[in-house]
Structure 1
Amino acid sequence: MAGIVRKTFDSPEETRPFAEGTGRLDLLTTEGGPPLGQAVFEPGWQWSKHIKPIAGTDSCQSHHLGYVLSGRMKVVMNDGETDELRPGDFIDIQPGHDAWVVGDEPCVVLDWAGFVDYAKLARS
């Protein structure tokens, strides 16, 4: 194992595009842990419209642990709790939610817990 590992989202190891050109998820692998993901959610993106068909669940079942770099996103939990994420926010979002971009700026989020299987198409 190398003492220093350096990677960049300019050359991700995997990219998962979202439906209808509404963004993408770029992944970098980590040694012994989940991948680090950077998602770019374009204006108009909504989990229930663009990821639900891939996930096959009624709400997002990923536990997100991350940091908002830019843009804004509204999150609504299944129990009705809501919040709006903004740049500079640390996030810890439990499974069972919908979310969508607010405004006309892409929302960019780093996540080191919830993107392992996020927006991953089933392989046949």
Structure 2
Amino acid sequence: MTWWLVLISRSRSDSATTGLGKSGYQSLGGGDLGEGVDHVPGKVELVNLDAGAVGRGTFEPGWKWSTHVKPIAGTASCQASHMGYVISGRMNIVMDDGESAEFGPGDFMICQPGHDAWVVGDEACVVIDWQGFADYAKR
């Protein structure tokens, strides 16, 4: 069963932080910054924290998983789970079963393995991912 969770972003004038907490917070700068994994036209940067890896993916216009990462991963579709927050740009994700969704700035998403994804429009899509980038596109 495929499932998605999309939270509509708050307006910039709404400074409430309902659902967000600071306990257990670690600065990203305090982690071990791993080497970036480059996938033209995209880049994934990892920070390894005690609680697990956090990745920032920057995917340029024209980036598509099945075109740029599939040859590296060696799988028919992305087999990583993702739990991410979109900072900028837009990304379309299509599950192997055909279900699809488009995400943009302020959207939080959870995506199971078995999907393709690509940048929509002419702006880079920047995503912070707490789940899927630690083993992203490893052979």
TM-score, length of structure 2 as denominator length: 0.77
Q: Say if 2:52 is the partner of 1:43.
A: no
The letter for the 1-side match of 2:53 is P
Q: Which runs of 5+ in 2 are unaligned?
A: 1-23
* Contact residue 63 and residue 93 of structure 1 kept, 8 A: yes
Aligned residues: 114
**8 A Cα contact 1:13 1:29, kept in partner:** yes
- Counterpart of 2:98? 80
The 4+ residue runs of structure 1 with deviation greater than 3 A are none
1:24 and 2:17 matched: no
Q: 2:67 and 2:123 mapped to 1: Cα distance?
A: 18
Q: How does 1:1-124 map to 2 (within 5 A)?
A: 5-8=26-29, 12-18=33-39, 21-31=40-50, 33-120=51-138, 122=139
Q: Secondary structure at the match of 2:28?
A: coil
Q: 1:23 Cα shift?
A: 1.1
Q: CA deviation at 1:14?
A: 2.1
CA deviation digits over 1:83-102, x for unaligned, max 9? Answer: 10111000100100000000
Asked whether the 8 Å contact 1:74–1:85 carries over to 2, the reply is yes
For residues 34 and 96 of structure 2, what CA distance do their matches in structure 1 show?
Answer: 33
Task: Give the whole-Å Cα distance in 2 for the aligned partners of 1:6 and 1:119.
Answer: 26
- Provide the rounded CA distance (Å) in 1 between the counterparts of 2:103 and 2:37: 22
Q: 1:63-83, CA deviations, whole angstroms, 9 ceiling, x for partnerless residues?
A: 000100000011100001011
Distance 2:28 2:128 in 1: 14
Equivalent residue, structure 1, for 2:4: none
Q: 1:4 to 1:113 in 2, by over 3 A?
A: closer
Check the 8 A contact 1:14/1:28 in 2, yes or no.
no
In structure 1, the gaps of 5 or more residues are none
> What is the percentage of aligned positions where both structures have the same residue?
55
TM-score normalised by length of structure 1:
0.85
Report the structure number with the largest CA radius of gyration: 2
Alpha-carbon distance in structure 2 between the residues aligned to 1:88 and 1:16: 24
